[in-house]
Structure 1
Amino acid sequence: MIYPKIPLAQTVIQLCKAKGVKHIVISPGSRNAPLTIGFSNDDYFKCYSIVDERCAAFFALGIAQQLQEPTAVVCTSGSALLNYYPAVAEAFYSDIPLIVLSADRPKHLIGIGDGQTINQKNVFENHVLCSSNLKLDLKEDNIDLIEEELPVFENLENKVKTLPELKKTVQEYNEEEIDKAINMALLKNGPVHINVPFDEPLYTMVNESSVKPKSIDLENQPLEIDDYILGDCIKDWNAASKKIVLVGVNQPNQIEQHWLDNLAADDSVIVFTETTSNLHHDTFFPSIDKLIAPLKSEDFGKLQPDILLTFGGLIVSKKVKAFLRAYRPQQHWHIDLKKANDTFFCLNNFVKTTPNYFFSKFLPQIKSIKSDYNSYWSHIKASRRVKHNNYLNSIDFSDLKAFDVILNSIPGDTILQLGNSSTVRYAQLFDLNKTLEVFCNRGTSGIDGCTATAIGSAVANKKQTTLITGDLSFIYDSNALWNNYIPDNFRIIVINNQGGGIFRILPGHKNTENFDTYFETNHHLTAEHLCNMYGLKYESVSDEAALKTSLNSFYSEGNQPKLLEVFTPKNLNDEVLLNYFKYIG
């Protein structure tokens, strides 16, 4: 087997292998050549070459999102590393294991005006679980660096005098730092950064490894809940007649169905699920905005819960956040292994465990409470659903109408990736096919990597993946198409309303030159030429009949990925949506 000659590169690669880090997304560069040589010459690893570092990181994030295991990204030194930051932040807030391996120049070349050099140490410290800054391999021709490296080893006390002794100490330090970082990504599900300095020559290869790093085993903590916390939860829950369970971003199949059935059978409980929660039950309340938007103040008082129980990631619905901040529950509990966001400013109980484990200990001890809470709001939900359908049958072609047609067309048992901004908010208004697995980058809610993430997801999951995205999101992330890995069954639907349509829905003065230029970003671009350049089959429609006709064959098998661009009338979309909320009330 071919190895890079540099021992530090060998160490990083062997520990990644020992920890089961299989997928490696590499952006071409010179300083990272030792890592590229090692990863690409070992058949254990599945390597991908993606030039644009921002897209590469989101591509890797999409793989990790589907596999729920760490995926590594490898880049050269300098600003290349900074282009990873949007995906690193998304991984941090979405609890996705991403391992950043950045090549760096030796310490003595930093801060002296050398090219392609920045301060890479701890550059992501606010958005990673761990920053490991490795030490340069020491050798005879860099003996002058020994004094520079010595201060980092507080336990040496100047006892190490010889070069072999110091080399061994540096090797042990690096192994420990790499192990610590990868274990953190595995245990805590989040991004870590390993900064790896390399001195030249960078491209020398050998046939045998010179190091045998030791891998530190993971130490999984057992799931548990303190008896007094569980007891208080049971007591308070059994005394409350109005409870809301609100679920944010949630991986598919994370909660056992019988616990969901148990919640659904409780008359005193309403379960609000978002599109990204991947939870379904006939008695649950999806499409939260559809229920809440038309409510008056007296209605909010009736809906106000005694206890709010939340789990999952960030909440999309601004309306439910506004409601629960204004009409706060007496108690807010959040169930999660890592963090509890005080989203509604009334959090008083953070139960640090998994939701599934909590329910297994909690729900068997819950008593049935007589309450008309669920039945009252279920009646309103049914009324809203009827009005929703009536309104959709009465409107002209628009964003809302297009989403109705598209979301009803997506084949069952497939992956649905949603772009941010208006796309995910429109999807929230519809009851989706229960067999779909739905994903969206809601950690930071940015438009910057939606396409790249969806492509990474499609590579990792053999099910057909459909991305629905807006025109600005798609154009912004168009470099995501610049790779050789897009599966033939990948589908993109671009809703092109000629700008940032969501800004027409928000408060503010519309239809001015200032608004068109600086908020909506009015444009006349299409995806057609990008599809021609990158080898996607392109089709466009601009009315309901054409959309339905196109969708009949859109998901069928083919020998290339497909993109459908749906043009909607930008000056009508906001009026249709705002009137929708008035109509369903």
Structure 2
Amino acid sequence: MGHQEVMTTYLANFIQQLVHGGIKHVVISPGSRSTPIAMLMVEHPELNVYIDIDERSAAFFALGMAKETREPVVLLCTSGTAAANYYPAVVEANISRVPLIVLTADRPHELRDVGAPQAINQIHLYGEHVKWFMEMPLPEDEEEVLNFVRQCGARAVATSAQVPAGPVHLNFPLREPLVPLLEPSPFEGLEDQHLFIDVIRGKLNISDSQVEQVVTQVEQKEKGLIICGPIDYPELNQHIVALSEKTGYPIIADPLSQLRSCGIFNPSIIDNYDSILKDQSFNQYFVPEVIIRFGAMPVSKPLTLLLKNAKNIIHYIIDGENGWRDPIKKGTTMVHSDEIAFCQKMDNQLKDRRQTKWTTMWQQLNEQTRSIVVNAMEMENALDEGKVVTELVKFLPEHSTIFVGNSMPIRDVDTFFHVNGRNIRILANRGANGIDGVVSSAIGASVNAENVYLLIGDLSFFHDFNGLLAAKMYQLNIRVILINNNGGGIFSFLPQAKEAKNFELLFGTPTNLSFEHGIAMYDGHYTKVHNWEQFRQAIADSTSSQGIQVIEVPTNRQKNVESHRKMWKKVSQEMNEYFRGEK
């Protein structure tokens, strides 16, 4: 066989194995060296192919799609710096456990390190940020090689999806000519399922005797907390609530735990802990004796400080993905078990505990704090960033998805997004916590999810502005709530805000951008609101509209800080009254 026929057979076998393994979506960044892989992927009848010109945007677009579907998505690019531009999303996928399969085309070995164009060292390009790397052999049609390439395809899908999920990288050196043979169909004759490899993945489990050790400790301690950080297993929610009812422990529910809007109303789901713990002078009342934690560390810094400063706490970290999530180094027992299985076995062995004074305290303060927060926002007439969250939730259709930007938006969601029955899913890129790629990730999520709303600040929006191209090209529906405080709002809450000299230059970083014309470039609809009535109407209009809908909410950074601190002061006063009455 000639070179093109050999190359076609080789790559068709690889692609067919990906499909056999369950791959449905491919995101391609255009380029020359990746030509044969791209052309064959487009020809495959079972693959949904998306083209995204900017590699950084493409990678985050794929990441958002994988995050929403909880399934691996394939990325493909040409050689050189194109592959380097995937790096930020690969890092995010690794830390946040999102399955990605990164395919990079490469120069053949004779064109490496000799000054050839678009040739960089792509071997282990992503270092330890991928779960597995393979330098693929040059195309051959020997059965041994075809067996190997199918094996690599199966292993790539399985490894990316196997817990903990994450990215894998396969590097394909390819020689010219790069155009494959498309007639007859390169996938004819590959229908024989016996050619391809199946992978059966199991879950980590824990024995009854191991659970008994945890039960013994829990039953001896009344002051306990179940802490749920970012975790996205919808079926887990009811088991967490059942565990709370059995132990009598309140649930500290991070907004990314999916517990705040899962259709379960339970007074033990604590959603105002961040405001409660802001004033650290009361922390002595909130220190638990035992913690059972699920998911990554919560967003809340006050909660982190409480746990970090507490001593002699029994701290179980439950991780069904065999990880080590303990940035504050306070875990006393790592439990590598499927979370649902752990909850069920705990429930089978635990005795019912009557509600304790500890649980009552958390529930009462949570209700009182929620009332203060809600009333403070209702009384706020100016455009306020916290009130954006409370007003947005009122008008979202059920089963919507909010993709939240980092820095201030995710923290405002933590403070102002309360338990509700709307079944709203909250997503964010909280692995590396960067502001890059947020627009692209949200648009990636919108490929399969209906009613996706992106809540984002002006700097993050600008940073990934060209991510809007994918929404334009594929007529995707994305509603963007753009909070524009003309700079980095989060820094106004940090210690450096007290250093007035050069604060705006280094941290405030005002850009004075007008977004309207840029949004028009992507055929988007732009609305700038000036009051709450306009905001409510804009949200309602966007819900019934198609395409890119951007609602800009101009806010004032300094006034936003004052509004938040005034509210937190009222919470502190309420707690002071509460604990004075307890004495």
* TM-score normalised over the length of structure 2: 0.90
**What's 1:364 paired with?**
348
- Show the counterpart of 2:412: 426
- Indicate which of 269, 277, 281 corresponds to 1:292: 277
Q: In 1, Cα distance between the equivalents of 2:476 and 2:75?
A: 24
1:381 equivalent to 2:366? Answer: yes
The structural deviation recorded for 1:252 is 5.0
State whether residues 487 and 510 of structure 2, in contact with CA within 8 Å, keep that contact through their aligned partners in structure 1: yes
Question: The residue matched to 1:584 in structure 2 has which SS?
Answer: helix
Name 2:399's counterpart in structure 1.
413
Structure 1 distance, partners of 2:540, 2:19, is 44
User: What secondary structure is seen at the aligned counterpart in 2 of 1:566?
Assistant: strand
> Counterpart of 2:526 in 1: which secondary structure?
strand
- Choose from 227, 252, 257 the match for 1:272: 252
Q: Give me the whole-angstrom Cα distance separating, in 2, the residues matched to 1:248 and 1:526.
A: 36
Match of 1:60 in 2: 62
Provide the secondary structure at the position in 1 that maps to 2:30: coil
The AA in structure 1 aligned to 2:407 is S
* Residues 449-496 of structure 1 deviation map (CA, whole Å, 9 limit, x = unaligned): 1111111111122x2111110000101010101124554542111000
Q: Structure 1 residue 506 and structure 2 residue 494: aligned? A: yes
Equivalent runs, 1:112-261 vs 2, <5 Å: 112-138=114-140, 167-188=142-163, 189-208=165-184, 209=186, 214-251=195-232, 253-255=234-236, 257=238, 259-261=239-241
SS in 2 for 1:241: coil
Contact 2:40 2:180 in 1 (8 A): no
Quote the Cα distance in structure 2 between the aligned partners of 1:268 and 1:432: 19
**CA apart distance, 1:578:** 2.2
**Match of residue 104 from structure 2:** 102
Cα distance in structure 1, aligned partners of 2:483 and 2:182:
52
Query: Contact 2:446–2:476 (CA<8 Å) still a contact in 1?
Result: no
CA distance in 2, matches of 1:507, 1:408: 34
Q: Match for residue 399 of structure 1? A: 385
Question: Shift of residue 4 of structure 1?
Answer: 8.7
Structure 2 counterparts to residues 468-547 of structure 1, below 5 A = 468-483=455-470, 484-485=472-473, 487=475, 489-509=477-497, 512=500, 514-547=502-535
Cα pair distance change 1:3/1:309, threshold 3 Å: farther
* CA spacing shift, 1:510–1:376, aligned 2, 3 Å: closer
**TM-aligned CA distance change 1:267 to 1:360, over 3 Å:** closer
1:73-112 equivalent positions in 2, closer than 5 A:
73-112=75-114
Query: Do 1:27 and 1:53's aligned partners in 2 also have CA atoms closer than 8 Å?
Result: yes
CA-to-aligned-CA distance 1:234-270 (integer Å, 9 cap, x gap): 111111111111111122513152x244234247401
2:577 corresponds to:
none
Structure 1: gaps spanning 5 or more residues: 139-163
Task: State how far apart, in whole Å, the 1-side matches of 2:116 and 2:349 are.
Answer: 66
| C-alpha contact 1:391 1:580 (8 A) present in aligned 2 | yes
Deviation at 1:509, TM superposition (A): 4.0
The residue that corresponds to 1:154 in the other structure is: none
Match of 2:288 in 1: 305
- Give the distance between the partners of 1:236 and 1:77, measured in 2 at CA: 55
SS in 2 for 1:103: strand
State yes or no: 1:346 paired with 2:330. Answer: yes
Q: Please give the alpha-carbon distance, in whole angstroms, between the structure 2 residues aligned to 1:333 and 1:263.
A: 14
Q: Which amino acid aligns with 2:250?
A: I
- The change in CA–CA distance for 1:249 and 1:49 in structure 2 (over 3 A counts) is same
CA distance in 2, matches of 1:404, 1:577: 14
User: Does the 8 Å contact 1:60/1:73 carry over to 2?
Assistant: yes
Deviates more, 1:510-519 or 1:128-137: 510-519
313-322 vs 472-481, which moves further: 313-322
Question: Structure 2: any 5+ residue segments left out of the alignment?
Answer: 573-583
> Is this contact kept in 2: 1:321–1:343, CA < 8 A?
no
Alignment partner, residue 456 of structure 1: 444
Q: Scaled by the length of structure 1, what TM-score is found?
A: 0.89
CA distance in 2, matches of 1:3, 1:62: 36
**1:177 Cα offset (Å):** 3.0
> How far did residue 311 of structure 1 move?
1.0
Q: What amino acid is the match of 2:21?
A: K
Query: For the residues of structure 2 that align with 1:79 and 1:376, how far apart are their CA atoms?
Result: 56
| Residue 126 of structure 1: how far off its partner (Å) | 1.0
Q: Alpha carbon RMSD of aligned pairs, Å?
A: 2.3
Aligned partners of 1:329 and 1:346 also within 8 Å: no
3-state DSSP of counterpart to 1:482: helix
Using the alignment, how far apart are the partners of 2:460 and 2:5 within structure 1? 41
Question: Take 1:409 and 1:206, find their aligned partners in 2: how far apart are those partners?
Answer: 50
Deviations 1:108-141 (A, max 9, x none): 2111111101111111131111111111125xxx
In structure 2, distance between residues paired with 1:410 and 1:4 = 53
Shift of 1:554: 2.9
